[in-house]
Structure 1
Amino acid sequence: MLFNKFVLLTRKIKTTNFKSLWADVKESITGSERDFTTTSLGKAIFLLSVPMILEMAMESVFAVVDIFFVSRLGADAIATVGITESTMTIVYAIGIGLSTATTALVARRVGEKKAGKAGNAAFQAIVVGVAFSIILAIPGFIYAKEFLRLMGASNEMTSEGYFYPMIMFGSNVVIMLLFIINAVFRSSGDAAISMRVLWMANIINLILDPVLIFGIGPFPEMGIKGAAVATTIGRGLAVCYQFYLLFKGNGRIHLDINNLSIRFNIIVKLLKLSIGGIFQYLIATSSWIILVRLVAELGADVLAGYTIAIRIIIFALLPSWGLSNAAATLVGQNLGAKRPNRAEKSVWITGIANIIMMSVIGIFILLMPGKLIQLFIEAPAVVESGITTLQWLGAGLLFYAFGMVVVQGFNGSGDTLTPTKINLVCFWAIEIPLAYLLAMNLEMGITGICMSIIISESLLTVIGVIVFRQGKWKLRKV
């Protein structure tokens, strides 16, 4: 009798827990109206991180989809995309840097319960983003061929593939706005909106990629140029949707006639915050460009394999960025609400969750690196390079996971300078010289480059945790 009651009670608890979990998942995806500075921390992290992880998961699909279809065009096409993407990271760096500043400002104003000022900060971020994108678009569009030659591309790659960087740089405004406006939604607590926007962009790209690359149906066969056009159309339509949502007024952030005025004092504050964020990512991405240049010296096949493997690693890491963005939002909002200890606790809890998630993904990658590379290409030399890269970088996912959360914790507080200094040491003073030493001087090739990445990223995590524990970021005024 007692046993039967116990069984019934257990079933009831399981049913209740499942219903509660499903209700939380549904709330996180459809959008939550909760105040994340007072909601229980575990639930706040869950409600913010689920749509952010799904958002980044779709972005990771986008990263793999492009290279999947482009790989059908051969190693030269893959290498062209790899070279372009390595330098496009400058655009991403500025976009992410501005997004970091936007997150700090908007989250702090939301935590202070000043929705109007949060909206005005969002508009200033959009204005600054458009200005930067114009500055980058003009030389990128005009000097696309010269850029490919500078990065070590062959004459054949340059003559056939220059349209790809021309289009990507020329239309970088859609990348910039997509980053910045989604940061506005996320930092205000509307993470579900950011998720829907990115899903829209990537689903459109998923449909258009094969159609424009291979000329399916009435569409012309555009080759590698079609990949750039598909990406631009997908992101461009998503940006239009973002503006519709901002002016529609149903979210936490609303733009109206009162917000559409340029406030130079806010722009100055935004730029000051952005400088640290931009240089933080420029340091990281410039080291990435130099690494690609070193890999290019090892041959097109090695570069192609490295490019495919990096896309897979990006696929694995982007959901981790989702959790990291949740930490940044919670840090900013809780500091605005004068709850610094809760802000710090949110970073530790999110970091542990990220380690667990990335450990599972890392094991999966290490179990089948060859099969993953062969999804894209069968050429033995390319596959060999890709496997080596995956094995080394997959083993480092555990370290990247916690480091990403700690860095976003600094950024969410408005302390963008500390991660910049750490990046300067780990990437420029250690990663680049070490990569050259191991790959070129000691002739370890792609293995040496991968080893330098693991060592520098691990050191970044260790230094970041030590400095974060000191707590000076809690005193940052935004």
Structure 2
Amino acid sequence: MQSTLTVILDAIKGKERDYTTGGLNQALIILAIPMVIEMFMESLFALVDIFFVAKIGVEAVTTIGLTEAVLTLIYSVAIGCSSGATALVARRIGEKNPEAASFTAFQALMVGVSFGAITGIIGIFMAEDILRLMGATPEVIATGTNFVRIMLGSNVVIMLLFLLNGVFRGAGDPAIAMRTLLLANGLNIILDPIFIFGLGPIPAMGVTGAAVATTIGRSIGVMYQLYNMFWGKGAIQIGPKLMKIDWGIIRKLIEVSVSGAFQFIIASASWIFLMRIISRFGSESVAGYTIAIRVIIFALLPSWGLANAAATLVGQNLGANQPDRAEQSAWRAGYFNTIFLLVVSVLCITFAPLIMSFFTDIPLVTKIGVMTLRIFSIGNVMYAYGMVISQAFNGAGDTRTPMIVNFICFWLIEIPLGYFLAVTMGLEVMGICIAVPFSESLLAVILIVIFKKGKWKKVNV
């Protein structure tokens, strides 16, 4: 039995392993550590980004809040495609067929480039209209149009960053995905203040500078991914003979990814509707809610590392014809995730005022942020199992089940309940804050009940 320290070092180094044999705890740790670090870097950047932008003013923070509500649609497609790629690649790796996994990875690359290019062109030309549609004030439109144009115009980069990391996770190479985001988001953090506030010959660009820094960092991260796919020494190795289109695999990838994308689109569209409701109550409300959400993302994204580890273990063990081991992987990851988020929730509830003081000293913005942090944290413990079980379905290739449950919980419950509490009952932002954890807790319960039935074990990808 390896020592804990040796296991952790192997995880960070990305030592190649067979995740279909051996102890589950060890497999989960080796997969989860780089994924947690990867997600931590993504969440850290989100926090640092809003820290710098908050120094510009309320309009700048509002720009990011409204833009991200739209960008989450792109992220949703990217994450959905990533789920499809993880499921197919993990299944091929579990079948001990790395060449087929690499061939699948190339098809995923082609899908990402095509979708990213089309949506990027649309985003460049419709940036101002998008902000107006989201209810932005004239001041926010004037401040944020270039930010939106750059962020949406770089959709190819966003698609590939998510999609290719999904490929590496499915292949059991999470250390590559970790290093990608360490590089991309590390650069983002360094470049953010330079482009936002200016340095030497680089002029101060304000909120537009945040978009420039993000795009540069992510682009370099994607270059690192491509290097590892074509010239690396991991499980995924794309050589010249694999660089051809296979419409059968693309159709299967799209088939699995569409449901995966829709489950996140449903959640993201819900987010857009909720942000649109919050915009009725003024820029301070949007700013306070946006800052709090960034803090919550900072806390939740490492949890997604555990959830992604569960998805990889489920996919590979189903490929190796070990469904019971696949199921045990999900329950074990959910248990660890619940302990982690219980600690996080207690900290957020206790230190909410202190946390908000790092970002703003505007009383109303602070008040909204503190309230959002505390109410959302109540639902985190229930959602800990929900996110793991959802990803376990995705890892099995059953992306349809989480999509249906998301539709019920987010569109049929969360949005109407949020509107009723916020507008009809006059609770404003508090109404939204109550509706979200209620709906996500219900989602977790439904997914757990369905997962126990075990039909996901028979999905064929």
1:175-214 equivalences in 2 (<5 Å): 175-214=158-197
**Which of 22, 25, 36 is equivalent to 2:5?**
22
Asked whether 1:49 is paired with 2:32, we answer yes
TM-fit CA distance, 1:217 = 2.3
Partner of 1:149: 132
Rounded to whole Å, the distance in 2 between the matches of 1:49 and 1:275 is 26
Work out whether residues 45 and 189 of structure 2, in 8 Å CA contact, stay in contact via their aligned partners in 1.
Answer: yes
Partner of 1:9: none
Work out whether residues 406 and 443 of structure 2, in 8 Å CA contact, stay in contact via their aligned partners in 1.
Answer: yes
**Which of 246, 267, 271 is equivalent to 1:263?**
246
Rounded to whole Å, the distance in 2 between the matches of 1:132 and 1:167 is 17
Rounded to whole Å, the distance in 1 between the matches of 2:155 and 2:356 is 29
1:183-262 equivalences in 2 (<5 Å): 183-262=166-245
Rounded to whole Å, the distance in 1 between the matches of 2:390 and 2:37 is 21
Task: State the TM-score, normalized to the length of structure 1.
Answer: 0.95
**Which of 128, 140, 148 is equivalent to 2:123?**
140
1:145-164 CA-to-partner distances (Å, cap 9, x unmatched) read 11111111111111121001
TM-fit CA distance, 1:32 = 2.0
Look up the SS of the partner of 2:235 in the other structure. Answer: coil
Work out whether residues 50 and 294 of structure 2, in 8 Å CA contact, stay in contact via their aligned partners in 1.
Answer: yes
Work out whether residues 249 and 255 of structure 1, in 8 Å CA contact, stay in contact via their aligned partners in 2.
Answer: no
Work out whether residues 63 and 311 of structure 1, in 8 Å CA contact, stay in contact via their aligned partners in 2.
Answer: yes
Asked whether 1:336 is paired with 2:319, we answer yes
Partner of 2:289: 306
1:376-395 equivalences in 2 (<5 Å): 376-395=359-378
Partner of 1:103: 86
Work out whether residues 284 and 423 of structure 1, in 8 Å CA contact, stay in contact via their aligned partners in 2.
Answer: yes
Asked whether 1:455 is paired with 2:438, we answer yes
Work out whether residues 205 and 231 of structure 1, in 8 Å CA contact, stay in contact via their aligned partners in 2.
Answer: yes
Work out whether residues 174 and 235 of structure 1, in 8 Å CA contact, stay in contact via their aligned partners in 2.
Answer: yes
Work out whether residues 36 and 44 of structure 1, in 8 Å CA contact, stay in contact via their aligned partners in 2.
Answer: yes
Partner of 2:106: 123
TM-fit CA distance, 1:39 = 2.2
Asked whether 1:428 is paired with 2:411, we answer yes
TM-fit CA distance, 1:249 = 3.2
- 1:58 is aligned with what amino acid? M
TM-fit CA distance, 1:218 = 2.3
Rounded to whole Å, the distance in 1 between the matches of 2:201 and 2:187 is 17
Work out whether residues 63 and 143 of structure 2, in 8 Å CA contact, stay in contact via their aligned partners in 1.
Answer: no
1:354-404 CA-to-partner distances (Å, cap 9, x unmatched) read 000111111111111111111111000100110110010011110111100
Partner of 2:389: 406
Rounded to whole Å, the distance in 1 between the matches of 2:213 and 2:57 is 19
Look up the SS of the partner of 1:113 in the other structure. Answer: coil
- 2:356 is aligned with what amino acid? I
Partner of 1:14: none
- 2:249 is aligned with what amino acid? I
* Large movers: runs of 4+ above 4 Å: none
Look up the SS of the partner of 2:200 in the other structure. Answer: coil
Partner of 1:475: 458
TM-fit CA distance, 1:219 = 1.1
- 1:326 is aligned with what amino acid? A
Asked whether 1:89 is paired with 2:72, we answer yes
Work out whether residues 108 and 332 of structure 1, in 8 Å CA contact, stay in contact via their aligned partners in 2.
Answer: yes
- 1:381 is aligned with what amino acid? L
Size of the aligned set, in residue pairs, is 461
Rounded to whole Å, the distance in 1 between the matches of 2:140 and 2:130 is 12
TM-fit CA distance, 1:136 = 1.0
Work out whether residues 87 and 395 of structure 2, in 8 Å CA contact, stay in contact via their aligned partners in 1.
Answer: yes
TM-fit CA distance, 1:56 = 0.5
Percentage identity across paired residues of the two chains: 50
Rounded to whole Å, the distance in 2 between the matches of 1:79 and 1:259 is 45
Q: Which runs of 5+ in 2 are unaligned?
A: none
TM-fit CA distance, 1:232 = 0.1
Q: Which runs of 5+ in 1 are unaligned?
A: 1-16
Rounded to whole Å, the distance in 1 between the matches of 2:98 and 2:404 is 33
- 1:322 is aligned with what amino acid? G
**Which of 280, 283, 303 is equivalent to 2:263?**
280
Rounded to whole Å, the distance in 2 between the matches of 1:60 and 1:94 is 19
Rounded to whole Å, the distance in 2 between the matches of 1:292 and 1:321 is 23
Rounded to whole Å, the distance in 2 between the matches of 1:447 and 1:131 is 41
- 2:163 is aligned with what amino acid? I
Rounded to whole Å, the distance in 1 between the matches of 2:55 and 2:199 is 14
Rounded to whole Å, the distance in 1 between the matches of 2:328 and 2:449 is 15
Work out whether residues 418 and 432 of structure 2, in 8 Å CA contact, stay in contact via their aligned partners in 1.
Answer: yes
